Structure 1
Amino acid sequence: MSQPLPFLLCLILLGGLTACKTPQAAEGPSRPRPGIDPARTEEVVAQRYVDATTQMIRGDLRTASELYQEVL
């Protein structure tokens, strides 16, 4: 009965340490760069993924690969 307690305590501590080490927690919320609309950027990226997936379904893997590379 006493064995699960140290194991659970260890998991809780590791989870807390991991949460503290995430970049967002360490650096705070990210700020958009001046002149860049984050909503528009997300919209463009989402559309590129849709376009690439459509090309892949059509069998045009070269175009799909190029579109995915643009997103990355």
Structure 2
Amino acid sequence: MPIIVNLDVMMARRKMSLSELAEQVDITLSNLSILKTGKAKAIRFSTLEKICEVLDCQPADILEYSK
């Protein structure tokens, strides 16, 4: 898949657990886990916005395009 999800990197930089992030973003732990492992097929902009808000980052810090 050419889109790489670096959510785990940003979470580590912010010293935040998956359960903490899930609670603050108001998303289920299982859905956030699917996103974190790169198995998600889509993400809502509102979810991405909230993740960026909580982690104080930009979408490009989480999503990366690779050829």
Please indicate, yes or no, whether the TM-score normalized by the shorter chain is above 0.5.
no
- Larger Rg: 1 or 2? 1
Whose strand proportion is higher, 1 or 2? 2
- Greater RCO, CA 8 A, separation 6+: 2
Q: TM-score, normalised by structure 1?
A: 0.25
Q: TM-score, normalised by structure 2?
A: 0.26
Whose helix proportion is higher, 1 or 2? 1
